[in-house]
Structure 1
Amino acid sequence: MNLDLFTVAPGEKPLDNMKAACGFAGIFKEIGVIGDSLSSGEFESHDQEGNTLYHDMYEYSWPAVLERLTGTVYRNYSRGGMTAKEYLESWADRNGFWQWNQAYIIALGNNDIFGANQPAGSAADIYPEDPAANPDTFLGDMGRIVSRLKTMEKDARIFLVSMQRRGEERADATICAIADEMKKMCGLYSYTYLIDMAHDGPAYDEEMRKTFAMGGHPNAMGYYVYAMMIGNYMDYIIRENPRDFFEMPFIGKGLKNKDIACNPGE
């Protein structure tokens, strides 16, 4: 048996090795997902007048696909139109969504930046030990979310997901710049990683939408493809940082293994 199949090969990129069951993404017992319409499985229909109607169909969302593929429980805290600001100020509290999980995936930004026109800010806006000091920017709000999750479980593994490029020059430059700041943000917290769909994922452009979209949102195949990308990117991160995940079953249990000489995620 070739153990190299379970490590990162020299020169391998995050989405080079697409596994049907998403590899080590299946080591988690439970994951919470904070996101917008892409995470809630939103589909578009039209009424008799041709008006577009929007439907969150969670059973078709990429977290639901990953739950079926990996056996991990995915708790979906998302909703179409969600922003980091709304999640912080009302949505999570109103619905009791500040819940303990071993890991969290946070996939926000499109509505914040391109809908609400909120300033993106930068990683310099984030004060992990004093999140109330974060300014009212997208990155500042993202920092407040992560800081809140870390008060619930300091050892939670947190995966931030950057937006996909759109094949539009100005928007893509903004998306990539925000992804770069999110990468810096990961360095401010323990066990926090970037699923960099901006730089490593395909552009969600006109060509991709021909097969994988139904209006402005993915179709069922599109959500499946996105699930495969998220799950396999997680597998890559785990293969690249295996020691960070040795004690994953001990999260929240107060258990340690003496052979882990240091805490590599901090």
Structure 2
Amino acid sequence: MRLKNKVAVITGGNSGIGLATARLFLAEGAKVVITGRNLQTLAAVAKELGDNVLALQADTTDIPAMEKAFAEAAEKFGKFDVVFANAGIAGETALGGTTLEQFENIVRINFTGVFFTVQAALPYLNDGSSVILNGSVHAVLGIPGYSAYAGTKGAVRAMVRNLASELAPRGIRVNQVTPGATRTPIWDSRSATPDAKDALETYLGSLSPLGRMSEADELARAALYLASDDSVNVTAIEITVDGGAINAPSGAKIFRQG
């Protein structure tokens, strides 16, 4: 077990990549703290995952609430060995049709909230621990209509390097997992019917050379590597799980004939 006797905190751990990571970390021996905004979903997930999970309602944009949640988590499980700042939202911000409120909400959650998540965890981080941020291929793909979302993910990508330098004196490693299109509930609102969802998933998968969307547990396995002692001398990097969409775009399945 690669996380035996370790304590891991996962924001947004009640759904999608965060939930898949919580399941895997538990299987690898960790005690896991998950946070989220939806109390009902948190309760259901906590019941499913069992005794080694502490589920706490906290919004990453509510800094006092996050500080309180992390203090409660440390009181129950002890200091943290892993923090996965996973919580975030998607959202379109097309030029000419976006309000300041829409734009700033994405920035608050996806960038400001990530920084203050790490800051709130800092008093409880063990030396030699692992901090993992959740990025996105949007940071480099230049997809139209997503300036705020892509901007926040580019900012997180830069922050990984800054925090890695800042926390290095304590041996704390800071890295990033970078999902491509990943099969999670985030896509449900884009699909009115099961057939529409299948068509969307097929299209999104075709934009990568390997020809399919990523699964949430594949991102979880990347996070596990960064959380565990397998990566003890690894910091300031990102692991991209996108089927090659960023680095080999010309090989995407959509361009292949036959």
TM-score by length of 1: 0.48
- Tell me which protein shows more helix as a share of its residues: 2
TM-score norm. by structure 2 comes to 0.49
